[in-house]
Amino acid sequence: MTSPSPDPVDLRVHAQYRRDFTEEADVVVVGSGPGGAVVAKELTDAGVRVVLLEEGPPFTPADFEADGGISMARTMREGGLRTTRGTVMPTMQAIALGGGSLVNSAICVRSPEFVLDRWCADYDLERTARADLESHYDAVGEFIGISPTPDEVQGPRNLLFRDGCDVLGYESEPISRNVRGCRGSGECFTGCRSRAKQSMDITYVPAALRGGATVLTSVRVEGVLCEGSRATGVEGTVVEPLTGRATHRFRVNAKVVVLAAGCMATPVLLQKSGNLANGSGQVGENLRFHPGVAVMGIFPDEVNPRFGATQGMQSLQFVSQGFKLETLWAPPAIPAVRLPGSAMELKERLSLLPYAAIWDAIGSCNRSIGRVRPRRRGLDPVLSWRLQPDDVGILTSALLRLAEIFFAAGAHSVLPGVNGLAPEMRSLEEAQVLRTHPVRSTDLVVSGNHAFCTTRMHGDPTRGVVDESGRCHDLDNLYVADTGVFPECPSVNPMWTGMAIAHRTAGAIADRV
Amino acid sequence: MQGVILVVVAASLGGLILRAAARYPRPRQRYRRLLASEAAIVDAAAETFFPPGGQIQSSGADADAPAYLDRLLDVSQPRIRTLVRLLFFAVEHATLVFPAPGRGGFRRFTKLSAEQRMAVLDAFASSGLFARRLLFVSLRSLLTMAYLHHPPVQRDLGIEPWEIDTPVCEADLFYPPIGGLPGDIRFTRDDVTAPTDRGTPLDRAAGKSS
Ligand SMILES: Cc1cc2nc3c(=O)[nH]c(=O)nc-3n(C[C@H](O)[C@H](O)[C@H](O)COP(=O)(O)OP(=O)(O)OC[C@H]3O[C@@H](n4cnc5c(N)ncnc54)[C@H](O)[C@@H]3O)c2cc1C
Ligand code: SF4
């Protein structure tokens, strides 16, 4: 293979920064995740001079690590060990070009009509019903190739879910994903070596680059600059990839600032910039998650779980009751850490991995509300959040449904992972204990990788941080374009909705610049 | 009453200082991050969680868990390293507060017999204290990751990473590997493959029907 001549695009990586620097832009976008990448590309297409800033580096396939633990330590903030306080729950946010889309399972679902109607009714929103967002969903969907997972890459662990749902008469469907040419490697979490997943770093960011945007990686924004009631840019530190070691300072002057640093980092940036845009007092408040719980099922025949789309099938049957069911896979060490027992018992359970499938549920836990606050030093957040008893009920019901589907699909046992209950249940009758047993929040193994609402959108400036176009109520030229703007849980996987709303925000900014 | 509490606390602190100063066997290799004491704790815990025998032949010691955890610590940020170190410390010295059953139950975790270690970990697992259960789950998670990283274990379980010929996409013309410069990009436009050409399911490519 011959050397250089990559196309002349303005992407900068850490090794290229030699000194402190200043850039000028019409619009500076902070964060290259699904929200920021869409805004950067759409504005570039509209002829706007954009500078996109990302703290993480680009990860090439040579940088991916198949090992779950090592990969997490490299691609996730706080090494993947970030947790909430109150109810202790791990929550992962990526630090990479492309943000969460680099490591997520590419699940794309439009938020149901009833959810968006409730957002409109309860948060004084006039243009956020499903019909209002449909064209934005479509534009994003077409660009990143969202389509249902074909059977040939489902693999048994996904198809068994469909079998179980069929037996019970539950609705199920192949998950629509932003992939092109998926090979069913089940390794979305550690980076798609097949280059099939259409994450932001291989879709929206290259498109923005081609259109003339400047993309600066390994730059950590530490503050929004303001003069009077206008934002004038951002400033921060150049950081070495993976270690975070500070090397230089930078500043970007811009007419419009867009914060898309994710719903944990954006409120911290606002708080650290003199409690900016917080006339409502809502910056960093209202933190919500879709806590996830999972059940492992053991089948009599080999399932060969390493083959198949990471998450290929779902059931939306219970979304109106507060939970969504899906199939799941991850690097084997990650499901394996859920196995109960130790010594020979643990080894025996591990030897069942080839016969195992894992299915999970995410809960619309709108009653469990937390907050994001900055630490005294650095930009990592302090997350306080408590899983409320009613929401524990939702998650326990979801566990029971998953057990039901496993047994209907022919599993001979399930491992629900609930403290205080038998680690392995061999029949649906045994699993019924989930109905009656008083499960506490600390009995569940939950994780919360879908997070939102910390800069929520509200029609009333005294009750929300941004308006429907993503513009901060308090600062005319400061926008937010990440999942922090959701007023409540979207009830299904958030990425597509976040991107649709960001697409609308880009349109609003383009109209004014 | 206050006096009694003070004496107990002082005795525990004294015990802790004496234990922390204790010597550990020389580790089997030089680690970048793990101390000799930490390597010993990891080895002892790994062998307790994954004893030899059974369907998966390798034991925790065969899997060389310290080497894996050393790498993990090496790629982790300082705060995480400190947390993991505190976890090892807590496991090693928890017997001061929750002694193992039998003679010498107050000894360090690494000094206990295999049965006593097992009993200590079991007590962690079934504790009514959430924090103690959390310690157990964290330790077991780290060691399970190390164990499953061991190629013979992966082979026994049929979970080896796929061999994948990574195709080249347009973005690969833009990004050098981490730490590199644009001059390190090895591809040209001629190397780029259309996305739809890449989709042979891996089970078929590997000649397996799953
Ligand atoms: C393991 C995992 C699996 C998931 N699976 C799915 C799924 O299948 N489908 C789905 O819909 N959702 C999924 N999600 C959630 C989804 O990925 C997120 O909701 C989505 O990425 C949020 O997009 P965002 O743009 O709001 O924020 P992010 O994706 O978090 O992007 C924010 C970006 O800003 C950067 N940044 C932060 N602070 C700064 C700073 N100070 N300076 C510069 N840059 C900064 C970050 O590094 C990051 O790249 C998953 C999440 C995880 C962790
Ligand atoms: S399942 Fe494998 S091939 Fe398919 S998108 Fe995920 S990582 Fe890529």
What is the C-alpha to C-alpha distance for residues A104 and A8, in angstroms, rounded to an integer?
30
- H/E/C letters for each residue in A284-353? CCCEEECCEEEEEEECCCCCCCCCCCCCCEEECCCHHHCEEEEEECCCCHHHHCCCCCCHHHHHHHHCCH
Q: By alpha-carbon position, which residue is closest to atom 5 of ligand 2?
A: A197
The answer to the question of residue A70 being in a domain is: no
- The values of phi and psi at residue A5, to 5°, are 35, 50
Residue A173 class from Cβ within 10 Å (0-12 exposed, 13-18 middle, 19+ buried)? middle
Residues A323 and A360 in one domain: yes
| The predicted structure's pLDDT at residue A3 | 40
| The predicted structure's pLDDT at residue A9 | 95
Residues A229 and A304 in one domain: no
Angle between helices A343-350 and B36-49 (to 10 degrees): 70
- Which residues, judged by CB distance below 6 Å to any ligand atom, belong to the binding site of ligand 2? A 106, 179, 182-188, 192, 194, 196-197, 309-310
Q: What is the DSSP letter of B22?
A: -
C-beta atoms of B181 and A3 within 8 A? no
Within 8 A of A307 by CB-CB distance, chain B residues are: 201-203, 208, 210
| The predicted structure's pLDDT at residue B180 | 97
Q: Which CATH number does the domain housing residue A159 bear?
A: 3.30.410
Count each helix (H run) and each strand (E run) in chain A, helices first: 13, 21
Residues A165 and A46 in one domain: no
Residues A33 and A49 in one domain: yes
Residues A354 and A304 in one domain: yes
- The values of phi and psi at residue B189, to 5°, are -60, -30
Q: pLDDT means per 10 residues in chain A (513 residues)?
A: 60 97 98 98 98 98 94 94 94 98 98 98 98 98 97 96 98 97 95 96 98 98 95 98 95 98 98 97 98 96 93 98 96 79 87 94 98 94 97 98 98 94 95 95 94 98 98 97 98 98 98 90
| The predicted structure's pLDDT at residue B6 | 58
CB A430 within 8 A of CB A411: no
Residue B82 class from Cβ within 10 Å (0-12 exposed, 13-18 middle, 19+ buried)? exposed
Of A503, A379, A363, A371, which is closest to residue A439 (Cα–Cα)?
A: A363
Residues A152 and A175 in one domain: yes
C-beta atoms of B51 and A193 within 8 A? no
Q: State the amino acid at position A218 in one-letter form.
A: S
Instruction: Count contacts between A and B (CB, < 8 Å).
Output: 216
CB A338 within 8 A of CB A417: yes
What is the C-alpha to C-alpha distance for residues B112 and B102, in angstroms, rounded to an integer?
10
Nearest CA in chain B to A96: B178
CA of B92 to the centre of ligand 2 (A): 41
Neighbours of A135 (CB within 10 A): 13
Residues A304 and A339 in one domain: yes
Write out the residue range of the structural domain in which residue A490 sits.
19-59+94-145+192-284+452-512
Of A225, A238, A218, A214, which is closest to residue A269 (Cα–Cα)?
A: A225
Q: Which of A83, A350, A447 to mutate to test the interface with B (most CBs of B within 10 A)?
A: A350
| The predicted structure's pLDDT at residue A333 | 81
Within 8 A of A63 by CB-CB distance, chain B residues are: 177-178
Q: What is the DSSP letter of A229?
A: T
Q: State the amino acid at position A356 in one-letter form.
A: A
Residues A399 and A487 in one domain: no
Of A500, A278, A263, which is closest to residue A370 (Cα–Cα)?
A: A263
Can you read off the two tokens belonging to residue B99? 């002694």
Q: pLDDT means per 10 residues in chain B (210 residues)?
A: 57 60 80 95 95 92 95 90 94 92 92 94 88 89 94 91 91 96 94 76 65
Can you read off the two tokens belonging to residue A296? 């492992």
CB A189 within 8 A of CB A443: no
The answer to the question of residue A381 being in a domain is: no
Nearest to B201 among A66, A153, A195 (CB): A153
Of A315, A361, A364, which is closest to residue A491 (Cα–Cα)?
A: A364
The answer to the question of residue A308 being in a domain is: yes
Residues A219 and A350 in one domain: no
Q: By alpha-carbon position, which residue is closest to atom 39 of ligand 1?
A: A261
Q: Is A215 left (phi over 0), alpha (psi -120 to 50) or beta?
A: beta
Q: Which-ligand-closest: CA of A149?
A: 2
Nearest CA in chain A to B193: A195
Residues A329 and A434 in one domain: yes
Nearest CA in chain B to A380: B79
Q: Provide the residue ranges of all domains of chain B, joining segments of one domain with +.
A: 25-157, 170-209
Can you read off the two tokens belonging to residue A433? 């204990």
CB B118 within 8 A of CB A342: yes
Nearest CA in chain B to A57: B178
C-beta atoms of B137 and A62 within 8 A? no
- Residues with Cβ within 8 Å of A3's Cβ and at least 6 positions away in sequence, in order, are B183, B185, B186
Can you read off the two tokens belonging to residue A414? 């399930």
What is the C-alpha to C-alpha distance for residues A454 and A500, in angstroms, rounded to an integer?
18
Domain count across chain A: 2
The answer to the question of residue A80 being in a domain is: no
CB A325 within 8 A of CB A398: yes
Nearest to B174 among A78, A209, A333 (CB): A209
Residues A139 and A174 in one domain: no
What is the C-alpha to C-alpha distance for residues A370 and A381, in angstroms, rounded to an integer?
12
| The predicted structure's pLDDT at residue B210 | 37
Q: Which of A220, A337, A446 to mutate to test the interface with B (most CBs of B within 10 A)?
A: A337
Of B54, B57, B68, which is closest to residue B153 (Cα–Cα)?
A: B57
pTM to 2 decimals? 0.93
CA of A500 to the centre of ligand 1 (A): 15
Q: Which CATH number does the domain housing residue A35 bear?
A: 3.50.50.60
Nearest to B54 among A5, A308, A348 (CB): A348
Residues A338 and A393 in one domain: yes
Within 8 A of B173 by CB-CB distance, chain A residues are: 6-7
- pLDDT tens profile A444-459: 999 999 999 999 999 9
The answer to the question of residue A14 being in a domain is: no
